[in-house]
């Protein structure tokens, strides 16, 4: 029976490249050189996050813009990147947490399964950890399902992998 998986993943190598390019630009850019701005990695691979630290709100927004630009150039979807509120740090500087979403959360997966059932196609959807597997008897039904899911705005960048016949 044909099937495919719906996942929400970030290419970690490209993320690392974007991070290194951002650090390099922040160190060499004239208007950011004297601000003591930095990006620190936080969390594990699954719960990846970054901490932006700078002198003022204005410079931290500039560092965030540089990071966002590098992510876009590297093909990392911004739907999976969440910038938290800018907060004052303990040393008089400001900090901002940037969280990355890897995988489909359970509530989004349930929403995705409900959406697939509402399509009235002859396919079955099942939640498997942080991905959703969709299977059906006809390849055309699966392709229609992919086309319908691409039209939806779920707040996550979805990829369709492991298409099997």
Q: How far apart are CA 63 and CA 58, in angstroms?
A: 9
CATH topology of domain 12-100: Alpha-Beta Plaits (3.30.70)
- Residue ranges in 29-138 assigned as alpha helix (H): 57-73, 106-118
Q: What is the pLDDT of residue 105?
A: 87
Residue 17: per-residue pLDDT? 93
SS (H, E, C) 109-145: HHHHHHHHHHCCCCEEEEEECCEEEEEECCHHHHHHH
What is the 8-class DSSP label of residue 84? -
Contacts of 120 (CB under 8 A, 6+ apart): none
Q: Could you list the pLDDT tens digit for every one of the 165 residues in the chain?
A: 888 888 888 888 999 999 999 988 888 888 777 778 888 888 775 678 998 888 888 888 888 999 999 999 999 999 888 999 999 987 888 899 999 888 888 888 898 889 888 888 888 888 988 888 999 888 888 888 888 888 888 888 888 888 787
How does pLDDT run across 103-141, given as a tens digit for each residue?
A: 888 888 898 889 888 888 888 888 988 888 999 888 888
What pLDDT, on a 0 to 100 scale, did the predictor assign at position 46? Answer: 60
**Fold agreement (3-8+104-164, 12-100):** yes
Domain ranges of the chain: 3-8+104-164, 12-100
Instruction: Give the integer Cα–Cα distance in Å for 107 and 112.
Output: 9
3-8+104-164 CATH pick, 3.30.70.270, 3.20.20.70, 3.30.70.860, 1.10.10.10? 3.30.70.860
């Amino acid at each position: 029976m044909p099937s495919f998986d719906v996942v929400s993943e970030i290419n970690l190598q490209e993320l690392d490249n974007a991070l290194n390019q951002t650090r390099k630009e922040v160190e060499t850019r004239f208007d950011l050189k004297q601000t003591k701005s930095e990006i620190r990695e936080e969390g594990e691979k699954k719960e990846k996050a970054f901490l932006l630290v700078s002198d003022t709100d204005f410079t931290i927004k500039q560092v965030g813009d540089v990071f966002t630009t590098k992510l876009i150039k590297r093909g990392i979807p911004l739907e999976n990147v969440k910038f938290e509120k800018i907060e004052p740090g303990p040393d008089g500087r400001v900090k901002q947490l940037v969280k990355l979403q890897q995988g489909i959360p359970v509530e989004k997966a349930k929403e995705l399964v409900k959406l697939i059932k509402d399509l009235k196609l002859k396919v079955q959807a099942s939640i498997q950890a942080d991905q959703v597997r969709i299977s059906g008897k006809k390849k055309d039904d699966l392709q229609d399902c992919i086309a319908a899911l691409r039209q939806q705005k779920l707040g996550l960048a979805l990829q369709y992998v492991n298409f099997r016949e």
